[in-house]
Chain A
Amino acid sequence: MNRTGKAVPSGTWVQIETTVLEPEERANHLPEETKKCPLMLWVKGFLEEDAEIGQEVTVRTIIGRSLKGKMIAVNPPYEHNFGRTIPELLTVGKELRDLIEGEG
């Protein structure tokens, strides 16, 4: 909490969301399942004023552009990883070694 009583202080690294095109504004010749969805955009930047999650805000991007949108995350993390073990791949190396070292 800060002087304005809002949860996220100005200067915080946040992510904003905007709707670029509503379904009816989208290009022709799109597959039906795409056409019925809005075209959405996300970008990160430094919050320009104290605000709450879900509020319309202005951010200053890392290269200094000023962009507006709904704040959806604070210090957004990277969560992609190496995934699970894939048992189907575990023996590939041995199979090939056996092939190379085998007769013929």
Chain B
Amino acid sequence: MSGNSYSEVMGRRNEIMKKALGMDYDEFEGRGLLFDYEGMMEKAGYSIEEVRRIQAETSVGNTPLIELKNLTAAARKLAGPGKGARIFIKDEASNPSGSFKARRASVSCYYARQKGYKGVIAATSGNYGAAVASQANMRNLKCIIVQEVFDSRRIGQPEILEKGRKCEAYGAEVLQLTVGPELFYTFLLVLEDTGFFNASLYTPFGIAGIETLGYELTEQVRKICGRDPDAVLITNAGGGNLTGTARGLIKAGARGTSVIGASVDLSGLHMASDRDFNRKSFTTGHTGFGVPFCTWPDRADVPRNAARPLRYMDRYVTISQGEVFYMTEALAQLEGLERGPAGNTSLTAAFSIAQEMEEDQVIVVQETEYTGAGKHLTAQLTFARENGIELRRGDPMDQVPGKNIIIPSDPSMIRAKDMNMEDLRRSYIRNSLKNNNLKSDNLSMEEIQFLAREISKPEDIVRSMLKEIN
């Protein structure tokens, strides 16, 4: 065993990961920027039938699909004649730990148990912590959750404090850290110390677990509406929710369904900043994760990220914090569903996008999350006010993340904003070249084909992007 300085531990990361994952990612690596994504998903993942069986053992999945009739009626009042798709929501809050993350945790904990690990560890400040802790209990595994919680004044977001409490309620050991990407260093040290399994969100298991969500919702929409969903709205952060759901849609044969990612716009706030940390009211589902993970997925806590959203995403929209809080209130007031704000990011975008669609079309919001003390819009808005954020009714167009939160004066002001997909794809290609030390004019045919699959565009588009980058 060598020393524990930051650089020494980071230097051992591959070796630590190999032990903590029970698999060697090297076997999927190819020449240059090549890597066998589907091979990895097949070899290390599980089939949809296996995942359904694993999840049934711990009561995960089979959540209700609820039609939001009043919100659909409101959207139709605002839309043009004949417009306003039927809006459905998949009530993922009814999973054991209160979010869709139970799906991801279920497969990781199953695998960890099969492989003989004594416990599981996850680095997360989100709902995933409670999901891993809950599933670990059902599989008789110990659990450690490493969270980024506090700024240097030791002030923490109420939402994250609640997520930590929930992990402790399930008997997990919770390591609470101040702001900074070196959380990964602590995570590696704990993996090494315990020999536990790295229940990363980004392994093939973590993604296979979500495929059932896309699969189930397709079956449910077919049963209720007699058609495939026309669009599925997915809150996007690390890309796993989108990737897994889209793969599930494909496995269910819903090939015509449009896959739309949605993130809260936090542009201008730095994710590693001690000052900005408590100036945001969303700790996940925002552009601060969504954009960097889209344009370079392999920044994750595993050697290769199984979440690769650009392979599946047809459209990516942003929405402001104030709009999501408005829709969270609307969901409680109109539909009788009190759910956590972060999960309602995709709902907010769906309310806007439904107005572009025809009345006979179907749009599905694929998650909700639990709510409670701390993880509630009144708690989060109180915290924002205490941290000097201006809160008012007005036009969400005037929002400045970190400075104000604007609750729309009128629901007609709720508007999903399209991100430029071409820019994201170009940025992905640029990052891929940079991180592999390759030049744009020197790629093999296989590498160009690989990039085409990575950004879900034909090879000639990849070639013209490569020319522009050159």
User: Which residue of B154, B175, B391 has the most chain A CB atoms within 10 A of its CB atom?
Assistant: B175
B329 near A92 (CB under 8 angstroms)?
yes
A27 near B330 (CB under 8 angstroms)?
no
| Residue A62 lies at the interface, judged by CB distance under 8 Å to chain B | yes
Given contacts A62-B171, A62-B172, contact A21 B182 (CB under 8 A): yes
Given contacts A31-B270, A78-B165, A89-B407, contact A83 B381 (CB under 8 A): yes
Shortest C-beta distance, A101 to chain B (Å), equals 9
A86 near B377 (CB under 8 angstroms)?
yes
B407 near A80 (CB under 8 angstroms)?
no
B176 near A93 (CB under 8 angstroms)?
no
Q: Could you say which residues of chain B place their CB within 8 Å of the CB of A2?
A: none
CB-nearest residue of chain B to A91: B393
For A65-83 the 0/1 string (1 means CB < 8 A from B) is 1000000000000111111
A44 near B334 (CB under 8 angstroms)?
no
Complex Cα spacing A72 to B438, Å:
51
For B253-285 the 0/1 string (1 means CB < 8 A from A) is 000000000000000001011110000000000
Q: For chain A residues 7-34, which have a beta carbon within 8 Å of chain B?
A: 20-21, 25-27, 30-31, 33-34
Shortest C-beta distance, A48 to chain B (Å), equals 15
A27 near B74 (CB under 8 angstroms)?
no
Q: Could you say which residues of chain B place their CB within 8 Å of the CB of A41?
A: 175-178, 186
A89 near B74 (CB under 8 angstroms)?
no
Q: Could you say which residues of chain B place their CB within 8 Å of the CB of A82?
A: 373, 376, 378-379
B185 near A20 (CB under 8 angstroms)?
yes
In the complex, which of the residues A61, A63, A84 contacts B378, with contact meaning CB atoms closer than 8 Å? A84
Q: Could you say which residues of chain B place their CB within 8 Å of the CB of A89?
A: 325-326, 329, 377-378, 381, 407
Q: For chain B residues 165-197, which have a beta carbon within 8 Å of chain A?
A: 165, 168, 171-182, 185-186, 193-194
Shortest C-beta distance, B341 to chain A (Å), equals 11
B186 near A27 (CB under 8 angstroms)?
no
Complex Cα spacing A3 to B179, Å:
40
Q: Could you say which residues of chain B place their CB within 8 Å of the CB of A63?
A: 119, 142-144, 171-173
Complex Cα spacing A93 to B380, Å:
19
Shortest C-beta distance, B410 to chain A (Å), equals 8
Complex Cα spacing A43 to B193, Å:
16
B378 near A39 (CB under 8 angstroms)?
no
Complex Cα spacing A30 to B274, Å:
10
CB-nearest residue of chain A to B408: A92
For B312-349 the 0/1 string (1 means CB < 8 A from A) is 00000000000001100110111000000000000000
Complex Cα spacing A99 to B414, Å:
14
In the complex, which of the residues B144, B162, B165, B274 contacts A37, with contact meaning CB atoms closer than 8 Å? B274
A-B complex: 10 closest residue pairs judged by Cβ atoms: A83-B382, A93-B333, A80-B374, A37-B152, A83-B379, A80-B158, A34-B274, A80-B161, A63-B142, A61-B173
- For this complex, 17 residue pairs linking A to B, each with C-beta atoms less than 8 Å apart, are A20-B186, A26-B6, A30-B181, A31-B275, A40-B152, A40-B154, A40-B177, A41-B178, A43-B173, A62-B173, A65-B173, A80-B162, A83-B381, A83-B382, A89-B378, A99-B411, A100-B70
**Residue ranges of B at the interface with A (Cβ–Cβ < 8 Å):** 5-6, 70, 73-74, 77-78, 119, 142-144, 149-150, 152, 154, 158, 161-162, 165, 168, 171-182, 185-186, 193-194, 270, 272-275, 325-326, 329-330, 332-334, 373-374, 376-383, 385, 391-393, 407, 410-411
